[in-house]
Amino acid sequence: MSDESYAKGSTCDGDRNSKKEVTEPVDISNAGSLHTKYTTNLMLPVIEYSLVSASPPGFVSLEEIMKAANSVSRMALAHDIAVDDDFQLEKVDLPSGSIQKTIKDIAHQAFWDLLKEEFEDEPPRYDRALTLLEEIKEWLLSLLLPHQTRTQQEIKDKLDIELIRQQIAAGTLDLHSYSQYIISLMARLCAPGRDDKIRELTAMKDVVALYKGIFETLELMRIDMANFTIRMSRPHIAACSIEYERSKFEDYLKITPDGLRNTRSWLHRNRKENQPSASPGSNAAQMIPSVLVDAFMELLSWDGSHPWPETVAVDEQRFSEMRQKLKGIQILSSIVLVSLNRDVGLQQLPPDFRNNVKDHAAIILGDARSTEELETVLPNVGRQVVEDINKALKSQDASELSEENKKLIIAEIWALRHPDNRVMEIIHSRLMDFLKQVISNEVARPTQIPMGLSLFKSEIAGLAGRFARLVSHNRAVFAQHYANIIQEGA
């Protein structure tokens, strides 16, 4: 933004609990978040419920349903902004070749073709040009902040629609002069990243292509403005989001039969697992923290055999991404462990040797996570590890790996494709124990990186920070519902 930037300050009584965890010591409160961009089309969570409700039958109006749907949509948006520092809107690009994109492209092109035909008529017609300038005027005004009254008035004066109508009637309309003003104003208002686009517009001569470019650039600028507003409002939204999400979820529950059915099943399942270890004198209230910890840990190993809990519906994609990230750390660390867990003849490991093995393996591994995918890529990983070891041996004037050692290393790496591989199981157990400890701590305290995984300190700390933030926020929003459900039938 230029000098026209503006941030509206506000306060809100909010109880945002952000848990910080440190490892080795590492601050995970802001570390390595999973960077995810969001489109302007917000996908609402679809929450299924049984045809046979646990609640008495009732009737709701379409207006009530739409109101609740809007509440969930607003709740999801507020939640995304509050828990994700990287949240941003971006233009939706429809899939190439899709019906939607085809229809959109045809409709848009038809407008610009008709505009060109109107300009080429004798005398020229400006019906669509007038509509175009009205739209541009409104879009420019939408880019301004409330205190920019002088610029608002300037736009209203320069793009006076009544005056433009008079110019059309008199045959004196000069679209190029209007485009020059519009582009100069856009140059003042746009983010630095749009400067190249503005220069492209300045060089255009064809009036139809020019106004088409203006429209496309204004669309991007509106998204920039929305993201700027989000960044400026994030502290306020974060402070208020817990109470806001709680309120909107209550709206959803009012019109949804048994709206916590999946959540109840999720918590009861983990309560049963906690009961054998509970002391004879313990009660349900004392079990709440441990049940919740186990329940949230289950989300990191979710296999889809149970319906997803309603209270974490807006974070389903985030948990899926974290599971993929966790699996990636598990596989990579297992590769490094089996690769370097034998005497290969190196007098001492070169400074960057471990990182090189890790980085090269990560490139070849890519997004492969399933057994089938690993069967394909792990042999290539094994050969790359052998190459890295031989390169290190050569730098020390040592003999290369024997054929037997080469085959052993490649075979051990290929064996990691099996989920029940002993090395994979050990690494997974250490990672899960670490993450469980992170969300079990009631106050911030140093948490030791799992043994043998220091090479992955930043990745583990980033994942733990993301996980702890989501858990802390979710517990703050739904604490009362969770307590009620866990204590049911106790």
User: Which sequence spans correspond to the domains of the chain?
Assistant: 11-36+259-490, 56-256
- Say whether pLDDT at 26 is over 70: no
| pLDDT, tens only, 137-171 | 999 999 998 899 999 999 999 999 999 999 999 98
Average pLDDT, the chain: 82
Q: Provide, rounded to the nearest whole percent, the portion of the chain with pLDDT above 70.
A: 82
Give the confidence band of 284 by pLDDT, cuts at 50, 70, 90.
low
Q: Which residues of 461-479 are buried (b: 16+ CB within 10 A; e: fewer)?
A: bbbbbbbbbbbbbbbbbbe
DSSP strand pairing (38-39 vs 89-90): parallel
Q: Which whole-number Å values give the CA distances from 249 to 46, 61, 73, in the listed order? A: 14, 18, 10
pTM for the complete prediction? 0.68
* Residue 396: per-residue pLDDT: 86
Whole-number Å distance between alpha carbons of 295 and 436: 10
* Residue 21: per-residue pLDDT: 34
